[in-house]
Structure 1
Amino acid sequence: MTSRLSRNPRSDAVDNRERILEAARALFATEGLNVPLREVARRAEVGPATLYRHFPTKEILATEAFTDQMRRCHLAVDEGLADPDPWRGLCSVIERLCELHARDRGFTAAFVSTFPKAVNFTADRDYALKAIAELSARAKDTGKLRPDFVLDDLILMLMANNGIQAASPAAQVAASRRFAALVIQAFQGTPDHAPLPPVARLALVAPGLTR
């Protein structure tokens, strides 16, 4: 019994780890990956040494912090692949990825970057991209996806989506949905200008272009 208990993490260590992850998720979501680890430690109310003991590098911390986002990314891609209509499946993936990334700026930065030490995250991202490549190939075969589409266009889409600056989190998501609709129309093999989602109030709008 004593031997078994000695292998269990101390409750304060577990609490510290969870507070660090919670702080990292909140800061990465709003500020991106440029947040200093000392700021994460301050938000979590732990010392820098405690943070580094649990997460020696920012890459390791980001990998752990974005586990749920990557799981939802995988789910979106897998459900898109399972759709018997590959174009509809691809559209669903685009919409869901744009919204997922609009809710978390740090996740976009991690997704489009290379973290050499975060092996698991890199493998997960590569899986998602390969699955999307397969789905896009199927959509091209139907003629509904433009033949010159390449996977880099998806990365470009995510980077542009990450640049949206809206007045509130809700407006951020609304703006992302409209952007996704525009992207889908741009990716179509044949024009089909369906109505766009409502306009969201953005943080910066040029005079005379609000209506």
Structure 2
Amino acid sequence: MEIVTKYFTEFTDKQLQQLQQLQALYTDWNEKINVISRKDIDSLYEKHVLHSLSIAAIFDFNDGAKILDLGTGGGFPGIPLAIFFPEVHFHLVDSIAKKLKVVQAIAGELGLTNVTTQHARVEDIKNRKFDYVVSRAVAPLKDLWQWCRPLIATQPSQPLNHAPGLICLKGGDLNLEIQESGTKPKIVDITGLYSEDYFKEKFIIYVTR
């Protein structure tokens, strides 16, 4: 928990309480349904919460913005971002129902009224538009952009601080992956945000139309 407040300080008491609850909730649920690597559960705040919040360090989402978390798994980056941005709506989608069961339970325990979930593959999401799609290590950038582009609003419902687009967390050498995607993303090196060794070669990739 301290590793989060080391970098983010402007939390309300409610947000701090929600963040503090995450360790016990994920530890309990992970024993029933494995959504986080067992070796990572003790590093939940560094490897999952802080990593997710790197998006919040760069993007100031407007109140009322609509965000799709594609392939949310155990709720990352969606759950930490929903705590950070209580006036932003997050729709967390995954093709594995048991993972969404965990996400729904944790969102309920935290009292996150700005989170909805859907058991679906991305191609099954119809007649909906989002200001942003966020994702963490779900698929190659080429596939992510192909899936997400039809879901990103061309005309946002309100003025936004950042152009609508895809925001994904990725690691390693991304040169070939970006080249094959045909996109020209903005790239943020997370080591410019956090000093921990875990974040070496981890990046935020931001693609707009």
Using the size of structure 2 for normalisation, the TM-score is 0.25
More strand by share: 2
More helix by share: 1
Larger Rg: 1
